[in-house]
């Protein structure tokens, strides 16, 4: 068995091979190229090996991930527990991704999303592309948001967030405002296209959640997206 290593990302020509001794008391090392293109590092900060998470640190990060702690706060907690910790934010991100992959198992990302929506009792709909089983749009809303929406339906702010994910799919956010001026998320929708048809589909689903038709939104705030404005006129003509 040979272990081949090299310096990371600096195109350093240094290279060596190693193998364990037959008596298991050490290693044989052979330097294939002893030339470096840089000076020796004064500290090990930034080296992936020294920033690896220990078993206890992995357990801590995993627990924080389950409680939706932001990665930057995970890193701060690791540094607080161990001032000599050399873990980087990228290593925390990578470990969080591995946690999600493990939780997903053999399911695809879309299958896992549907599983989580069902588990957390989200109200959700999805539309398919014509004459196919390819997913086109997804609308989702939490039961608590439905209650808030029916309690404070007067003003709704609707806006799009572009490229929020690796698929570059549009995320449409619908936000409500309480009588005290506080905002709350009503619903979300992932859309393939920004067409009037797509916006009508989303707004119709949201309108179907209104318990009393007299509670239709009085004011809808948008960013002058013509397709969205046209959809509002169709679904909420009195707003």
Per-residue model confidence (pLDDT) at position 46: 63
Total domain count, the chain: 3
More confident residue, 3 or 127: 127
- Residue 32 half-sphere exposure, CB side, CA atoms within 13 Å? 12
Range of the domain at 10: 1-40
Residue 130 and residue 225 in one domain: yes
Q: Phi, psi at residue 117, to the nearest 5°?
A: -60, -40
In this prediction the pTM is: 0.67
Tokens read off for 68: 């939706």
Question: pLDDT above 90 covers what percent of the chain?
Answer: 41
Residue 146 and residue 212 in one domain: yes
Do residues 202 and 137 make contact, with C-beta atoms less than 8 angstroms apart? Answer: yes
Per DSSP bridges, beta strands 155-161 and 219-221 are parallel
Residue 168, Cβ neighbours under 10 Å: how many?
Answer: 8
Per-residue model confidence (pLDDT) at position 2: 42
Question: How confident is the model over 84-108, as a mean pLDDT?
Answer: 88
Residue 160 and residue 52 in one domain: no
| pLDDT tens-place string over residues 28-80 | 889 998 888 888 777 766 677 778 888 999 999 999 998 889 999 999 999 99
3 pLDDT band, cuts 50/70/90, is very low
| pLDDT tens-place string over residues 198-231 | 999 999 999 999 988 888 899 999 988 899 999 9
More confident residue, 10 or 213: 213
Residue 77 and residue 166 in one domain: no
Residue 20 and residue 129 in one domain: no
Do residues 184 and 176 make contact, with C-beta atoms less than 8 angstroms apart? Answer: yes
Question: How confident is the model over 105-120, as a mean pLDDT?
Answer: 87
Residue 150 and residue 85 in one domain: no
Per-residue model confidence (pLDDT) at position 199: 93
Residue 142 and residue 231 in one domain: yes
Per-residue model confidence (pLDDT) at position 45: 65
Residue 115 and residue 220 in one domain: yes
More confident residue, 73 or 136: 73
**pLDDT over threshold 50, residue 1:** no
25 pLDDT band, cuts 50/70/90, is confident
**What's the whole-number average pLDDT of the chain?**
86
Q: Phi, psi at residue 230, to the nearest 5°?
A: -65, -40
């Amino acid at each position: 068995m040979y272990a081949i290593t090299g310096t990371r990302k600096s195109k350093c020509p240094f290279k060596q091979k190693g193998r364990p001794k037959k008596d298991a008391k050490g290693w044989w090392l052979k330097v294939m190229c002893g030339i470096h293109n840089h000076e020796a590092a004064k500290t090990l900060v930034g080296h992936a090996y020294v920033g690896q998470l220990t078993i206890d640190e992995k357990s801590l990060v995993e627990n924080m991930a389950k409680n939706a702690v932001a990665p930057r706060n995970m890193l701060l907690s690791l540094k607080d527990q161990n001032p000599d910790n050399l873990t980087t934010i990228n290593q925390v991100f990578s470990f969080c991704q591995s946690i999600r992959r493990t939780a997903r198992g053999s399911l695809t990302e879309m299958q896992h999303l549907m599983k989580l929506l069902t588990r957390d009792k989200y109200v959700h709909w999805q539309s398919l592309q014509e004459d196919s089983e390819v997913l086109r749009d997804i609308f989702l809303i939490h039961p608590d948001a439905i209650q808030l929406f029916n309690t404070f339906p007067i003003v709704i702010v609707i806006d799009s967030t572009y490229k929020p994910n690796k698929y570059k799919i549009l995320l449409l956010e619908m936000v409500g405002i309480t009588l005290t001026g506080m905002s709350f998320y009503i619903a979300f929708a992932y859309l393939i296209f920004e067409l009037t048809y797509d916006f009508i589909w989303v707004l119709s689903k949201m309108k179907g959640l209104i318990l009393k038709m007299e509670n239709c939104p009085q004011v809808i705030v948008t960013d002058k997206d013509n397709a969205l404005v046209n959809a509002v006129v169709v679904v909420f003509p009195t707003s």
